[in-house]
Amino acid sequence: MQRTNDGSAMIFDVQHNSFVDGPGIRTTVFFKGCNLRCQWCHNPESQAMEPQLLFDAEKCTGCGKCREVCPQHLKSCTLCGQCALYCPGDARSLCGEKISVQALLEQIEQDRAYYEASGGGVTFSGGECLLQPGALGALLRGCRERGISTAVDTAGAVSWETLEAILPDTDLFLYDIKCISNGRHRQFTGAGNAVILQNYQRLLSAGKAVWVRVPLVEGFNTDEEELAALCAFLRAHPPQRVEALPYHRLGERKYRALGADMAQHTFPVMEQERAEELKKRFREST
């Protein structure tokens, strides 16, 4: 695991005026790198810790510019980014950039008026932002000092000590709970969920505000048995709020751009009606 303590974080996106990552109007900072491999992940470019070169074949015009500018002649890429810079069709792009904590804080600060008007703030998301605890801690402290409300969006598959360290500077956790069955969790995400469920309960015991997010993925967690188990668990350990997020296919193009095998990452898209029904069921589960 890469630990960034040098005052900068590996980031793959910063999104202003996000309406969906917690209360109010927010700026969401996406950390690169994740320790889970959820098959349905719609941000596959967030998984690897290192920068990556994305190639979207649909946008490529075959102009050959990349070959011309690449110091490696397009073999054994060093991630220098030259080809992405000169690709006229936007087919190539470099994903992931080290950004200093200071620069990120400045960007976050820009939208202060919007946070204040709407009860919003900043959300650190990913990837898994807790895999870069040094930078994350510094960012959270910086926001605290500036009076900006903070949320951390996590899958919770980290040690309790890591979470504990950021408790004082985190106002809200957006916490992913994907399924209750340990075996199934392991099969679809590459890791069991014991730590995740345990950390979740500890956050609640610590009195933290938590919003749980449940991805709804057909073929993974939408059978009656799993749904019932999820709802029962949430009823027993009620968070402040539950949001169910139906799977969508927006990630597909990115998988292709990463050269990944699509078959593994394609799930059926749920009927609108069924999605609404399940969302309601989760909203009412606590």
Partner 1 sequence: MKDGLAGIFARLAASRQAHERDAERLEFVDALETVAQAIVSWAEKCAGEARQLAGSAGEGESKARLEKLAAALERVPLHPAGSFYEAVLSIYVTYSFVPDSLGTLDRYLLPFYEKDMAEGKLTRDEATAYLQELFLMLQGRMKPDDVRFHRGGESHFCVGGYTADGEDGFTDLSRLIVEAMLELPTWVPQLSLRWTAKTPREVLRYMMDRERHDANKRIAFVNDEPRIRALMQIVGLPFEQAVRYTMLGCNELALPGGIMMGSAMENILLCVERTVYGRAAELPACRTYDEFYAVFRQELHRLMEEIVQYEDAFNLARARDVNLVSSLFLEGCIENAQSVTRGGCTRAIAQPIFIGISNVIDSLSVIRQFVYEEKQCTMAELLEALRCNWEGHEDLRTLISKKARFFGNHDALSDGIARQLTSDIYAELKDHKSVFGYSFLVGNLIGYNQHNKWFGSGTRATPDGRHDADMIQFGIGQSEGKDRSGLTPLLASIATCDPNGILCGSSVTNVMLDQKLIRDDELFEKTVLMMETYFRQGGIHFQLNYVSPEELKETRLCPQKYKSLRVRVSGFSDYFVALDGDLQDEIVTRTEHAQ
Q: What residues line the site for ligand SF4 (CB under 6 A)?
A: 53, 60-66, 70, 72, 74, 77-83, 87, 89, 91-92
Taking the C-alpha atoms of residue 175 and residue 198, their distance in angstroms, rounded to an integer, is 12
Partner from ligand SF4, partner 1, none binding residue 66, C-beta < 5-8 Å depending on class: ligand SF4
b/e map of 238-259 (b: 16 or more CB within 10 Å)? ebebbebbbbeeebeebbbbbe
Query: Closest approach of Cβ 83 to ligand SF4, in Å?
Result: 3
Query: Closest approach of Cβ 94 to partner 1, in Å?
Result: 11
Please state, as a whole number, how many other Cβ atoms lie within 10 Å of the Cβ of residue 144: 15
CA atoms within 13 A on the CB side of 146: 24
Q: Is the Cβ of residue 94 or residue 167 nearer to partner 1 in the bound state?
A: 94
Q: Is the Cβ of residue 120 or residue 126 nearer to partner 1 in the bound state?
A: 120
Q: Is the Cβ of residue 96 or residue 120 nearer to partner 1 in the bound state?
A: 120
Partner from partner 1, ligand SF4, none binding residue 83, C-beta < 5-8 Å depending on class: ligand SF4
Partner from ligand SF4, partner 1, none binding residue 24, C-beta < 5-8 Å depending on class: partner 1
Query: Closest approach of Cβ 74 to partner 1, in Å?
Result: 17
Taking the C-alpha atoms of residue 280 and residue 276, their distance in angstroms, rounded to an integer, is 6
Partner from partner 1, ligand SF4, none binding residue 15, C-beta < 5-8 Å depending on class: partner 1
Which residues are at the interface with partner 1 (CB under 8 A)?
A: 14-17, 19-20, 24-25, 65, 85-88, 110-111, 113-114, 117-118, 120
Residue type for 181, please? Answer: S
Q: Is the Cβ of residue 38 or residue 91 nearer to ligand SF4 in the bound state?
A: 91
Query: Closest approach of Cβ 103 to ligand SF4, in Å?
Result: 23
CA atoms within 13 A on the CB side of 194: 2
Q: Are 60 and 84 in contact (CB under 8 A)?
A: no
Distances (CA, A) of 155 to 69, 90, 174: 40, 32, 8
Q: Are 24 and 123 in contact (CB under 8 A)?
A: no
Q: Is the Cβ of residue 68 or residue 106 nearer to ligand SF4 in the bound state?
A: 68
Query: Closest approach of Cβ 45 to ligand SF4, in Å?
Result: 15
Partner from ligand SF4, partner 1, none binding residue 206, C-beta < 5-8 Å depending on class: none
Burial class (CB in 10 A: 0-12, 13-18, 19+), 134: middle
Query: Closest approach of Cβ 24 to partner 1, in Å?
Result: 7
Beta-bridged to residue 112, according to DSSP, are none
